[in-house]
């Protein structure tokens, strides 16, 4: 798949677990980006895992190989707009996922995820993994 993609936490976790479908999908993508919010979720999972040192090192190594996108004022504006729209629809989604969606929209990226709730975000280009 050619194009520009933002990868969600659950897809990266699947790839780190060497799930064949996730690895194949990521290898087939064009330009790949990861949000700093996703990296934070990965570090959280690593720190609370049975093998925190090894898992933190895996994330450190991942960060050396990926294009990381951080939040700024434009991300925050998109976050506010998305959260307000979801509230008006009565369809809240997890806070971190709003930030991830805002990052994808801000940068014109297609989000690769396994979470169906992202379908409620207007204007988000989405591919389910």
| Non-local CB neighbours of 57 within 8 Å, separated by 6+ positions | none
Question: With respect to CATH, is domain 4-128 assigned 3.40.50.1010?
Answer: yes
pLDDT at 3: 85
The one-digit pLDDT tens for each residue of the chain (129 residues) are 668 999 999 999 999 999 999 989 888 888 999 999 999 999 999 999 999 999 999 999 999 999 999 999 999 999 999 999 999 999 999 999 999 999 999 999 999 999 999 999 999 999 988
In degrees, rounded to 5, the angle at the alpha carbon of residue 129 between the alpha carbons of residues 11 and 49 is: 25
DSSP structure class, residue 122: T
Domain boundaries, the chain: 4-128
pLDDT at 44: 98
pLDDT at 1: 60
């Amino acid at each position: 798949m050619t194009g520009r993609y933002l990868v969600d936490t659950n897809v990266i976790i699947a790839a780190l677990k060497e799930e064949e479908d996730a690895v194949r999908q990521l290898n087939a993508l064009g330009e790949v980006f990861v949000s700093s919010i996703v990296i934070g979720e990965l570090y959280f999972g690593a720190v609370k895992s049975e093998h925190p040192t090894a898992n933190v090192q895996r994330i450190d190594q991942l960060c050396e190989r990926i294009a990381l996108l951080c939040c700024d004022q434009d991300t925050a504006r998109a976050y506010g707009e998305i959260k307000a729209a979801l509230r008006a629809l009565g369809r809240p989604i997890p806070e971190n996922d709003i930030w991830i969606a805002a990052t994808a929209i801000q940068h014109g990226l297609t989000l690769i995820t396994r979470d169906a709730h992202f379908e409620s975000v207007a204007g988000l280009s989405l591919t389910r993994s």
